[in-house]
């Protein structure tokens, strides 16, 4: 299906088309270009997409957005990044469906994926979403530019690590529903305190369309601050959470045989019973947020419940993988949380580990961008590690020295400088029947460790 024609791209960007062409997708990373794609040749501080035009077309690109001459089919503009944003605005303007913006310190990608699954469940509806974690100043316009014109729903993730970033991104997305999953210590290196993080996340409400709905975490200590941020922009404010005062809250909860949670929830005036496939209290919160959004866009709550029951773990965000230890003799269960980490998400996933059968092993990478509070945040993980009944741990990265000091004499552990060293240690200590949690900031590189351990997965 054609996503953009050369004429439509030129009209959206104010550029000049070299010839007629049509594209079915959009990419700005030449490594991700596939047949029929539009390649946007972005120019950055360290690289220039124009250098990869030949590669992109060799991989099947049908056209490009460029700012200099090329023999390949193209639309020429003055500034390719500005053109990408213009294409995003044009994509948003032509969609008549309901657009949902998602942000938060933790849980935004997982909740975005669960929302997409819930809204895409209906055979009569077409849903679009941000892929991966494309949630920054380039990822959001890319996700918008990929949005088909006939989308009934779009779920777009927005991230930030400085004040003011969401204020701009939300004007591109122009959501009908804006959701904040949670506020937690993340990127604290760039904020004076957690309330400043809440203020920055609250910028998402500034882009709400007339009649829009703001969805706020009821259990957050910053709830009232977020409600105040939403009030000037939202026609309606909905809260979700475990607390009974939330508009969307659980009436009953019980453990499910699969390890997830069976929840009967109050959603406005209705009761809905769902099974949340993923384990952990944080996933109950994510599910309540999904139900709140689904209700706000008049989606089918029963189908949303089915999607939550069938939702699998995401790579890097909770996927459980059966791996074969080096000595053989059986398998161990690896919980892949390698994509990112902050104090709140570390505690949440350690609580999941606590409920797993078998010997508990934790491979924990340092948490980055925490600023001066970093040493205390790392040391404070000692209690959750002990509560998770971790018998042995591999601590990865220089910042983990503070957790190492706090755990001294309490459990067995090794402290290593990087993911490569951690892989060697992990291979030596994992046994059949173990439950192994792998979690750390993305820059630590624990995804490579997961890939190394999963080489013998069953």
Burial of residue 262 (CB within 10 Å: 0-12, 13-18, 19+) is middle
Q: Which residues pair with 119 in a beta bridge?
A: none
Residue 335: what pLDDT?
95
Residue 408: CB atoms within 10 Å: 10
**Angle made by CA atoms 14, 101, 153, in degrees to the nearest 5:** 80
What is d(CA 209, CA 96) in angstroms, rounded to the nearest whole number?
12
The segments of the chain whose pLDDT lies below 50 read 456-458
Residue 26: what pLDDT?
98
Residue 155: what pLDDT?
98
106 is in an annotated binding site: yes
Q: Which residues pair with 215 in a beta bridge?
A: 179, 238
Judge whether 63 and 74 are in contact, CB under 8 Å. yes
Please name the residue that has the structure tokens 């939403």.
230
110 is in an annotated binding site: yes
Residue 187: what pLDDT?
64
439 is in an annotated binding site: no
104 is in an annotated binding site: yes
Judge whether 366 and 377 are in contact, CB under 8 Å. no
Residue 456: what pLDDT?
45
Domains of the chain: 4-79 (3.40.1390.10), 95-310 (3.40.1190.10), 319-456 (3.90.190.20)
Residue 134: what pLDDT?
87
Pairing mode, if any, of strands 270-276 and 261-267?
antiparallel
User: Tell me, what DSSP letter sits at residue 330?
Assistant: S
Which of 338, 314, 312 has the alpha carbon at shortest distance from 426? 338
What is d(CA 70, CA 339) in angstroms, rounded to the nearest whole number?
38
Residue 259: what pLDDT?
85
Which of 381, 399, 371, 400 has the alpha carbon at shortest distance from 188? 371
pLDDT, tens only, 132-178: 778 999 999 999 999 999 999 999 999 988 899 999 999 999 999 99
Percent of the chain having pLDDT more than 90?
A: 86
441 is in an annotated binding site: no
State both tokens at 133.
């974690």
452 is in an annotated binding site: no
Residue 133: what pLDDT?
75
What is d(CA 46, CA 44) in angstroms, rounded to the nearest whole number?
6
What is d(CA 216, CA 231) in angstroms, rounded to the nearest whole number?
11
Which of 56, 58, 47 has the alpha carbon at shortest distance from 26? 56
């Amino acid at each position: 299906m054609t996503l953009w024609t050369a004429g439509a791209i030129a009209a959206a960007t104010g550029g000049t088309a070299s010839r007629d062409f049509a594209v079915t997708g959009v990419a700005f990373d030449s490594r991700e270009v596939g047949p029929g794609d539009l390649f946007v040749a972005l120019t950055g501080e360290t690289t220039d997409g124009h250098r990869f035009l030949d590669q992109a077309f060799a991989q099947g690109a049908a056209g490009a957005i460029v700012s200099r001459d090329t023999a390949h089919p193209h639309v020429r503009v003055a500034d390719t990044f500005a053109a990408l944003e213009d294409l995003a605005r044009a994509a948003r303007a032509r969609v008549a469906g309901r657009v949902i913006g998602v942000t938060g310190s933790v849980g935004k990608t997982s909740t975005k994926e669960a929302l997409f699954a819930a809204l895409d469940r209906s055979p009569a509806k077409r849903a679009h979403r941000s892929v991966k974690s494309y949630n920054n100043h380039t990822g959001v316009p890319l996700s918008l530019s990929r949005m088909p014109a006939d989308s009934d729903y779009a779920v777009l993730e927005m991230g930030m690590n400085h004040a003011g970033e969401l204020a701009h991104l939300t004007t591109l997305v122009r959501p009908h529903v804006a959701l904040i999953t949670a506020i937690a210590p993340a990127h604290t290196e760039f904020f004076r305190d957690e309330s400043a993080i809440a203020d920055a996340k609250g910028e998402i409400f500034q882009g709400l369309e007339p009649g829009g709905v703001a969805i706020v975490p009821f259990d957050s200590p910053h709830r009232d601050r977020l409600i105040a941020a939403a009030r000037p922009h939202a026609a309606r404010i909905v809260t979700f959470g475990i607390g009974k005062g939330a508009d969307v809250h659980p009436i009953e909860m019980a453990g499910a045989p699969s390890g997830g949670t069976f929840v009967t929830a109050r959603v406005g005036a209705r009761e809905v019973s769902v099974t949340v496939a993923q384990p952990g209290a944080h996933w109950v919160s994510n599910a309540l947020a999904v139900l709140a959004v689904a209700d706000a866009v008049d989606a089918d709550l029963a189908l949303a419940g089915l999607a939550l029951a069938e939702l699998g773990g995401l790579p890097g965000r909770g996927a459980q993988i059966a791996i074969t230890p080096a000595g053989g003799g059986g398998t161990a269960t690896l919980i892949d949380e390698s994509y990112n980490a902050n104090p709140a998400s570390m505690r949440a996933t350690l609580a999941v580990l606590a409920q797993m059968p078998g010997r508990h092993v934790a491979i924990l990478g340092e948490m980055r961008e925490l600023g001066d509070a970093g040493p205390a945040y790392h040391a404070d993980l000692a209690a959750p590690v002990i509560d998770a009944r971790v018998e042995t741990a591999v601590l990865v990265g220089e910042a983990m020295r503070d957790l190492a000091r706090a755990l001294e004499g309490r459990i067995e552990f090794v402290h290593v400088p990087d993911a490569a060293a951690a892989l060697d240690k992990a291979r030596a200590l994992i046994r059949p029947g173990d439950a192994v949690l792998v979690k750390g900031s993305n820059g630590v590189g624990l995804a490579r460790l997961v890939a190394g351990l999963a080489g013998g997965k069953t």
